[in-house]
Amino acid sequence: MPALIDGLLAENEEFAVLWSRQDVSWLGGKAQTFPHPQVGRLAPAYQTYEVQNAPGRYLLVGTAEPASPVARRLASLYSHGAVGGQSVTADRR
């Protein structure tokens, strides 16, 4: 996670400004499934944080249990360079 945050801080000025303010509050965790065209269904556990002073903006932090199917799928995407440019949509079923 620190490497991800460092990368966002270096590459995205808006993220850097929001991150520096540290004005988020926890909204809780939810279950969500994301269909991915290369690895199939991704269902990480995630927590949602509301960004204070920015109505309608949220920070979504997803995690996978080590060695779980979700972790293996995410590792596969990362190793093939598919992370970053791939858009996903939520499966609301």
For 44-73, what is the mean pLDDT? 84
pLDDT recorded at residue 92: 36
- The percentage of the chain sitting over the pLDDT mark of 70, rounded to a whole number, equals 76
Average pLDDT, rounded, for the chain? 77
Helix (H) / strand (E) containing 30:
strand 24-31
**Amino acid symbol at 59:** L
pLDDT at 86 over 60: no
Distance CA 70, CA 59 (A): 20
pLDDT at 87 over 80: no
DSSP strand pairing (58-63 vs 45-51): antiparallel
Q: What pLDDT is stored for residue 28 in this prediction?
A: 59
